[in-house]
Chains A and B, each alone.
Chain A
């Protein structure tokens, strides 16, 4: 298995531009998580999908952030418009049965720099 795949690995953009981050979870996993890693706050959960349905988006910083999961094998996290404070590493993770303490498998992350 290729594991969780994220693209792009690095993104540099200018303030005000739209940014789209992509994720392909592990086949057969029904839960998908988007995290953001910063020095100050560590790994923060942004949004959680179960069976392609957003269950908890309380971690999404503001309306500039949106996430979709159109099918079981693909998810996007969009920032529009982007701001310098959005610069961080964004991780996607997937897991099998939730609630049974199943391990979350993380992708390699997308390092976003907003100038």
Chain B
């Protein structure tokens, strides 16, 4: 049973446009959410996070939006750059736990 779902295995976007990556979760106990980015032959690296007390968190070109009622979060990348081409994993965690539950990832390809 996948508690964190990334329903789009892949996404292609033109350079300069917005990339929107989506993630849904089922466990209402989750209150902290993260995005990790993974390049080939490397481990995932932390990109951005959001706590459930917020509905938006911004870091440069990256913004994460959280819709608690819909149990949905999204990562926006504006403007997209070829170097953003990678696999993006969404992860969720609950207070007082150590576990991050990861989704299956979305492969983003930014076309020059």
A residues bordering B, Cβ < 8 Å? 4, 31, 35, 39-45, 48, 50, 55-56, 91, 93, 98-99, 101, 103-109
Contact = CB atoms under 8 A, between A and B. Distances in A.
Given A43-B44, A108-B41, A98 B98 contact: yes
Contact of B43 (A50, A56, A106): A106
Nearest to A31: B98
A50 to B, nearest CB: 7
A56 B99 contact: yes
A55 B98 contact: yes
Interface of B: 2, 6, 32, 34, 36, 41-46, 49, 51, 89, 91, 93, 95-105
Contacts, number: 56
Given A50-B98, A55-B98, 9 more contacts: A40-B104, A43-B91, A43-B102, A91-B44, A99-B96, A101-B51, A103-B34, A106-B36, A108-B43
Nearest to A43: B102
Nearest to A39: B104
B102 A42 contact: yes
